[in-house]
Amino acid sequence: MKFRWVKLTNNRIRSAGEIEQASSKEACLMEEEKTLSRRAVLRGALAVTCGLVMPITFFSSPAAGADTAGEKPKAAKKVSQTSVKYQHKPNGENKCGNCINFIAASKTCKRVAGSIDPNGWYILWGKAA
């Protein structure tokens, strides 16, 4: 066993100066390993963050999924009649009967809640094509 130890020390390190150099090299290598591991942790954290944020960003926007084939866009929430200043009389020639949002069969509007008079008017009125 003693012969083996001597052989190993003689082959690897030959003087006290080399021992000091070897220990300082080991310290540098250990310091580099710490730096690399910190970098690896930061890179990993960045990758995980991007991995979580990017899908949420792309798949949560209404425009991203609205035009895909076979899917209907979500219906817009209807607003109250008072919030759009609905009135039961027309505004000149503009009336709900000739509005693009008016549904004649049910006397309702695509954008305003409640029953709508065909001769009524509101500020969201748009000419039918």
pLDDT digits (tens, 9 = 90+) for 55-99: 777 776 555 445 555 556 666 788 888 888 999 899 888 899 899
Compute the residue count for the chain.
Answer: 129
Condensed to tens digits (0 to 9), the pLDDT of residues 89-102 reads 998 888 998 999 89
- Domain final residue pick, 20, 36, 66: 66
Which one has a higher pLDDT value, 59 or 31?
A: 59
- For 123, the 3-state DSSP assignment is coil
| Same-domain status, 62 and 87 | no
Domain, as residue range, for 27? 2-66
The last residue of a domain, from among 66, 86, 116: 66
Query: How many domains does the chain divide into?
Result: 2
Asked if 98 and 127 count as a contact pair (C-beta separation under 8 A), the reply is yes
72 assigned to some structural domain? no
